[in-house]
């Protein structure tokens, strides 16, 4: 017996509201967004996928083109509940998770060409071993996964459409690409190829408003629930923003058991996005020299501490040198310039990226970090000074990382060994990068709030130097006797003492404000 669940009207979405944790419907999430602090217990990919779903509803409901329209709602501090209710009631039937004809984000008549095409529900849970997807620390295998409640199945379904793995999918009747019960060459979900960045406010209302892309809606552009679902399968460009935000990258059918819990699923190929359009609002961008498009999404780098991407996050105009920021963050800079956002607004930016392996058929890791970003740094002209300050901080941190790595390499050479290769293990520079996440976050928050010391860079550099010296000290203190004697002859000789001198010199060049602070103290 199927447990009914209408996502528009029934509670399913876990949030933290004024009275604590609870489940809410889409209607309540939007009409009461100003009272909801954040999602409760959802992972970064799940949060991103659901936020984009809610943004799509807002775009289709309000269709704001000008900053004045957006600003009126922003200053009111809550969404127009009557218009939300009208919209939800109009499409309510298309948000039924188990509707006989139009189940939400699914295809009702989906039927595999082989009985083996019906899979355990673990297929929509990338952290669980299923088929070729074998996470390193998974404690479950696919046929032992407890069934999902309809509410949690809805969360997984929405996330799957955005971040699903690539490669082989179940072949279904009617799909011309099906061969031997499967389809091959499927790309990841559209969000899997992005370096996702989303603005985060103090409550759900602010977060949704900060990620709302202003501009006209194409006449033929509609969200998934306002279109005919299912086949035919297509490779095509996105019609517009609504189509993109609700892209159906998979044809899915959730199959509940006799208790109304979802324990099986069919996941087949869906529409293939021809390319990521330039109106995609929530990704970093990289300029392309040759090709059919001028820019492509810039993905977050695996193994790279996300705060080191501040340069990309705050680069407003595309350039050939590196990545540039998202359309929505550029828009926030314009909104601040026009007076709609306060300069000390406590803006956070959530960076999310999926790391795939083995031809993108498995999930290896999720990159995620939430950091404060001063709004002024997003303003084209007025933010130049703030951007230059933060770019300098990142550059100094990179130099310190290099100094630590060179120190480690010199000490290894001094005892007759070879430095660690860049991909051969953890180097001390990476330890420093991880340790600096807290100081960088405090610096950003201080600049954001306007409470920074007269010389915030010097304060940051003094802390960076203390941390770097703390990482370096055991490297030379625990070096073997051979490192003290060293290897080589003449000017080519490297030993423990010379390695330390090189390091201290590199540290002084990297952290010039800290060195000037020392000189000032000595003279006073």
Cα–Cα nearest to 90, from 50, 61, 64, 62: 61
pLDDT tens series, the chain, 524 aa: 567 899 999 999 999 999 999 999 999 999 999 999 999 999 999 999 999 999 999 999 999 999 999 999 999 999 999 999 999 999 999 999 999 999 999 999 899 999 899 999 999 998 776 555 555 445 555 567 899 999 999 999 999 999 999 989 999 999 999 999 999 999 999 999 999 999 999 999 999 999 999 999 999 999 999 987 666 788 999 999 999 999 999 999 999 999 999 999 999 999 999 999 999 999 999 988 877 778 899 999 887 888 898 999 999 988 767 899 999 999 999 999 999 999 999 999 999 999 999 899 999 999 999 999 999 999 999 999 999 999 999 999 999 999 999 999 999 999 888 888 766 678 999 999 999 999 999 999 989 988 655 678 899 999 999 999 999 999 988 888 888 888 888 778 899 999 999 999 999 999 999 988 888 777 76
Is the backbone peptide bond immediately before 123 cis, with ω within 30 degrees of 0?
no
- Confidence (pTM): 0.93
SS3 5: coil
Instruction: Report the C-alpha gap between 466 and 211 in whole angstroms.
Output: 38
pLDDT of 456: 83
pLDDT of 229: 61
Instruction: Name 365's bridge partners.
Output: 355
Residues in the chain, how many? Answer: 524
Domain layout of the chain by residue ranges: 285-383, 385-523
Instruction: Report the C-alpha gap between 294 and 299 in whole angstroms.
Output: 16
Tokens standing for residue 1: 């017996």
- Domain 385-523 = CATH 1.10.132.100: yes
pLDDT of 289: 80
Q: Is the dihedral of CA 324, 346, 351, 207 positive or negative?
A: negative
């Amino acid at each position: 017996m199927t447990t009914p669940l209408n996502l528009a009207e029934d509670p399913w979405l876990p949030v933290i509201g004024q009275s604590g944790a609870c489940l809410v419907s889409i209607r309540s999430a939007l009409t009461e967004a100003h009272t909801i602090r954040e999602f409760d217990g959802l992972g970064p990919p799940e949060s991103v996928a659901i936020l984009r779903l809610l943004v799509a509803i807002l775009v289709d409901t309000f269709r704001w083109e000008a900053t004045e329209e957006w600003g009126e709602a922003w200053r009111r501090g809550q969404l127009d509940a009557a218009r939300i209710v009208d919209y939800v009631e109009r499409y309510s039937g298309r948000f039924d998770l188990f509707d006989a004809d139009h189940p939400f984000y699914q295809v009702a008549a989906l039927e595999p060409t082989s009985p083996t095409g019906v899979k355990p529900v673990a297929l929509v849970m990338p952290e669980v071993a299923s088929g070729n997807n074998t996470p390193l620390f998974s404690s479950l295998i696919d046929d032992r996964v407890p069934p999902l409640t309809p509410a949690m199945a809805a969360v997984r379904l929405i996330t799957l459409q955005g971040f699903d793995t690539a490669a082989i999918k179940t072949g279904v009747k009617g799909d011309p690409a099906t061969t031997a019960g499967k389809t091959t060459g499927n790309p990841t979900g559209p969000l899997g190829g992005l370096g996702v960045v989303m603005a985060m406010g103090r409550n759900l209302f602010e977060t949704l408003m900060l990620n709302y892309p202003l501009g006209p809606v194409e006449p033929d552009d509609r969200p998934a629930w306002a279109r005919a679902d299912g086949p035919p399968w297509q490779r095509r460009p996105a019609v517009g923003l609504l189509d993109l935000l609700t892209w159906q990258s998979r044809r899915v059918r959730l199959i509940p058991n006799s208790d109304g819990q979802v324990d099986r699923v069919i996941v087949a190929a869906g529409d293939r996005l021809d390319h990521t359009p330039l109106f995609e609002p929530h990704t970093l961008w990289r300029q392309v020299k040759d090709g059919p498009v001028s820019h492509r999404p810039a993905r977050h780098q695996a193994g790279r501490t996300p705060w080191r991407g501040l340069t990309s996050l705050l680069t407003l105009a595309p350039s050939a040198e590196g990545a540039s920021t998202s359309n929505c963050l550029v828009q926030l800079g314009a909104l601040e310039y026009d007076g709609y956002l306060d300069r000390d607004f406590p803006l956070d930016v959530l960076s999310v990226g999926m790391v795939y392996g083995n031809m993108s058929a498995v999930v290896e890791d999720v990159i995620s970090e939430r950091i404060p970003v001063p709004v002024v740094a997003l303003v084209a002209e007025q933010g130049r000074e703030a951007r230059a300050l933060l770019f300098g901080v990142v550059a100094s941190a990179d130099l310190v990382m290099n100094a630590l790595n060179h120190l480690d390499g010199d000490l290894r050479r001094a005892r007759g060994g070879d430095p660690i290769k860049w991909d051969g293990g953890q180097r001390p520079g990476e330890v420093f990068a991880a340790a600096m996440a807290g100081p960088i976050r405090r610096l950003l928050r201080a600049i954001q709030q306007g409470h920074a010391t007269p010389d915030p860079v010097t304060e940051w550099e003094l802390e960076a130097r203390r941390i770097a010296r703390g990482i370096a000290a055991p490297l030379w203190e625990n070096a073997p006797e051979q490192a003290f004697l060293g290897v080589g002859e003449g000017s080519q000789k490297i030993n423990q003492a010379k390695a330390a001198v090189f390091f201290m010199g590199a540290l002084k060049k990297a952290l010039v404000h800290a060195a000037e602070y020392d000189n000032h103290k000595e003279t006073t």
